Amino acid sequence: MSVVNVTLKDGSVKGFAAGITLQEVAAALGHKLAKQALLAQVDGVNKDLSDRLDHDAKVEFVLADTPEGLHAIRHTAAHVMAQAIQHLFPDVKFAIGPAIANGFYYDLDSEHTFTPEDLAAIEKEMARIVKEDLPLKRSELPRQEALEFFGAKGEKYKVELINDLPEDAVISTYTQGDFTDLCAGPHCPSTGKVKAFKLQSIAGAYWRGSEKNKMLQRIYGTAFNSKEELAAYLHMLEEAARRDHRKLGKELDIFAIMDEGPGFPFFLPNGMIIRDELIKYWRSVHRRYGYEEISTPMILSRKLWEQSGHWDHYKENMYFTQIDEMDYAVKPMNCPGGMLVYKLHPHSYRELPIRAGELGLVHRHELSGALHGLFRVRCFTQDDAHIFMTEAQIKDEIQNVIRLFDEVYATFGLKYHAELSTKPENAMGDDATWERTTNALKAAMEDFGLAYVINEGDGAFYGPKIDFHLQDSIGRTWQCGTIQLDMQLPERFDLTYTGEDGLKHRPVMIHRVVYGSIERFIGILIEHYAGAFPAWLAPCQVRILPITDKHAAYAKELAAKFFDLGLRVKVDDRNEKLGYKIREAQVQKVPYSLIVGDKEVEQGTVNVRKRGEGDIGAMKAEDFIALLQKEIAEKR
């Protein structure tokens, strides 16, 4: 009997009879593992547990609490949904049904128009199929046999997919009970592993994403390892809908997107206050960290964009115009203008590093279907900075930027994780330069103690980068800050400095943004705070509510005092009941409401209501001012 040697995760090696299934290997290692395993990684490749081992291999079992395990659950859930649909709507033709981030979907061709009521019926049938715990059995078919099988069932989309596969492709199907699907796999061993699922929505989708093809119906769903995880995710979605920055932006008069300018946001007075406070804070932080501020033109000549490489590498995202019969482009990035500013004067090593910040308005062509509130727009303000330095200064400067980012994100209560993005396919420059710059970023992060993961092939075309992914108050992540190390543009623009040896040297350059885009960052903050901005950012910090008309004069006197101190205040002296005014202030998410009546007028006090806490009692007007000023100064 021949034996295969299996190297396990802990490095131990065990021998098994050749031809043993991975499920049998799991059972031999322990009953608990056999029950919990969904897949196995054989030499790093995900395999079904029904697969057999006929060679020595490294084997690691995949459990439900891993990304690979969750993907398998969702992939299997798509098949369970398709089987349920086949039972309820036998005339449906199936297209594709993959697992995706956060869930799964299936594209369907049907004369029946699916409704939310149908989703409830499909879920019920899915639950029955899951309870049956049907095994998923993989089969490999010759091309002609596969074509005949799906052709006989009228599954034209499956036939088209098979015909498009290479001649030597392995054509595999998975069968669970009375349902067979064309699929490469792998899958959970049985339908019973799909423990918690929810069908979420119905949308239209062109077959293969082409508008030249038929519009199909797409049913989206999600699945998790447990009902608790599913409930937490669905709660997060409800919270996200409640916090949607497009809805709150309209309700709180922060910004508007109009038909006259799709993708070009209008900031209203409340939005401008938030924007100006963010910029004011940005400038104060950067001043402390040794930055100077510049501003470069919005429109620059084609020659500049050719020199920078954007004309060849970024042209499809740019807007163009002609001036005096010459080609110009509206800037999609601030970098080339920053190069020109550096070149205006000769530089010595004694000046370096030079840290030049810029709040530059940039324009990028985005497809209309990709536009999304403030998150995806066609013009936005990048809080850019370009740092010019010697190679010996790379580590210190990168760590200085990380410290700045850490301080800024902590101010907003945003945690983060870092990703190192490496050389993309369309990169400029040679491999040796890319390796050197990538290793420099790694060394700086590791020495700083910043944990990171590798994001292969997602660097900028001119250099590797560190991306900062922020986590908001309901657990979602957003990519905002970035640090990009660039040895290409200094070469292209022939940037130099005079070294200690009296010779010309090429500086190294860092591109970096902390907010990323001020517009997008505002959108993130709206959702992070659910519109309830901290006092230092709130468009209106204090609303004064006189109980009757006779208290309005005192309210206005207080408001004038607050205004002179730079506080943002409004008086609500409408002829409305006090309860109505209080609710209105709550709806507008004002941090503090001050109620004034006979007692307050007589004693020079205010009765304070704090957002989220309610009535916190009476205090002298001066004491309240001191309390608010302290809260604003500390950016609590």
Q: How far apart are CA 236 and CA 527, in angstroms?
A: 12
- Which tens digits make up the pLDDT trace of 260-280? 999 999 999 999 999 999 999
Query: Residue 486: which pLDDT band, with cuts at 50, 70 and 90?
Result: confident
- Which tens digits make up the pLDDT trace of 494-514? 999 999 999 999 999 999 999
Q: What pLDDT was estimated at residue 459?
A: 86
Any bridge partners for residue 277, and if so which? none
Q: What pLDDT was estimated at residue 588?
A: 96
- List the single range of 342-356, 399-413, 464-478, 538-552 with lowest mean pLDDT: 464-478
Q: Nearest Cα to 66, choosing from 97, 45, 39, 32? A: 39
Residue 427 pLDDT > 90: no
- What is the phi-psi region of residue 461: left when phi exceeds 0, alpha when psi lies from -120 to 50, beta otherwise? alpha
- For residues 419 and 454, the answer to whether their CB atoms sit within 8 Å is yes
Residue 428 pLDDT > 80: no
Helix (H) or strand (E) holding 84: helix 67-88
Q: Provide the b/e sequence for 82-95 (b: ≥16 CB within 10 Å).
A: bbbbbbebeebebb
Which overall architecture, per CATH, does domain 67-240 show? 2-Layer Sandwich (3.30)
Query: Residue 1: which pLDDT band, with cuts at 50, 70 and 90?
Result: low
In this structure, the strands spanning 569-571 and 542-546 are: parallel
CATH topology for 3-62? Ubiquitin-like (UB roll) (3.10.20)
Q: How many Cβ atoms sit within 10 Å of the Cβ of residue 346?
A: 10
pTM here? 0.83
The arithmetic mean of pLDDT across residues 168-187, rounded, is 93
- Which tens digits make up the pLDDT trace of 280-328? 999 999 999 999 999 999 999 999 999 988 898 888 999 999 999 999 9
Q: How far apart are CA 549 and CA 556, in angstroms?
A: 11
Q: What pLDDT was estimated at residue 462?
A: 77
The arithmetic mean of pLDDT across residues 439-464, rounded, is 89
Residue with tokens 């700086």: 444
> Position 158: which residue type?
K
Q: What pLDDT was estimated at residue 169?
A: 84
Q: How far apart are CA 348 and CA 505, in angstroms?
A: 10
The arithmetic mean of pLDDT across residues 339-343, rounded, is 95
Q: How far apart are CA 315 and CA 427, in angstroms?
A: 15
DSSP code, position 89: -
Q: Alpha-carbon torsion 270, 275, 280, 285, what sign? A: positive
- Which tens digits make up the pLDDT trace of 6-43? 999 899 999 999 999 999 999 999 999 999 999 999 99
Where does 407-535 show beta strands of DSSP type E? 415-421, 452-455, 465-471, 477-486, 497-498, 504-505, 508-513
Non-local (6+) Cβ contacts of 92 within 8 A are 85, 86, 108, 109, 110, 112
Does domain 255-528 match CATH 3.30.930.10?
Answer: yes
Non-local (6+) Cβ contacts of 167 within 8 A are 143
Q: What pLDDT was estimated at residue 489?
A: 87
Helix (H) or strand (E) holding 183: none
Angle among Cα 540, 541, 546 to the nearest 5 degrees reads: 85
| Residues identified as active-site | 335, 364, 382, 384, 386, 465, 511
Residue 461 pLDDT > 80: no
Greater confidence (270 vs 636) lies with 270
Domain segments of the chain as ranges: 3-62, 67-240, 255-528, 542-633
Q: What pLDDT was estimated at residue 382?
A: 96
- Rounded (to 5) percent helix, strand, coil in the chain: 40, 30, 30
Query: Residue 152: which pLDDT band, with cuts at 50, 70 and 90?
Result: very high
Q: How many Cβ atoms sit within 10 Å of the Cβ of residue 238?
A: 11
Which CA distances in Å does 148 have to 86, 142, 152, 432? Answer: 19, 10, 6, 53
Non-local (6+) Cβ contacts of 170 within 8 A are 140
- For residues 359 and 383, the answer to whether their CB atoms sit within 8 Å is yes
In CATH terms, 542-633 corresponds, of 3.40.50.150, 1.10.10.60, 3.40.50.800, 3.90.470.10, to: 3.40.50.800
Q: How far apart are CA 68 and CA 40, in angstroms?
A: 10
Q: What pLDDT was estimated at residue 475?
A: 87
- For residues 250 and 256, the answer to whether their CB atoms sit within 8 Å is yes
Mean pLDDT of the chain: 94
Residue 622 pLDDT > 90: yes
Q: How far apart are CA 569 and CA 544, in angstroms?
A: 7
Same CATH fold, 67-240 and 3-62? Answer: no
Non-local (6+) Cβ contacts of 360 within 8 A are 295, 296, 298, 331, 334, 337, 381, 382, 384
- For residues 469 and 524, the answer to whether their CB atoms sit within 8 Å is no
Query: What are 98-103's contacts with CB under 8 Å, separation 24+?
Result: 99/71, 99/72, 99/74, 99/75, 100/74, 102/222, 102/233, 103/74, 103/200, 103/220, 103/221, 103/222, 103/223
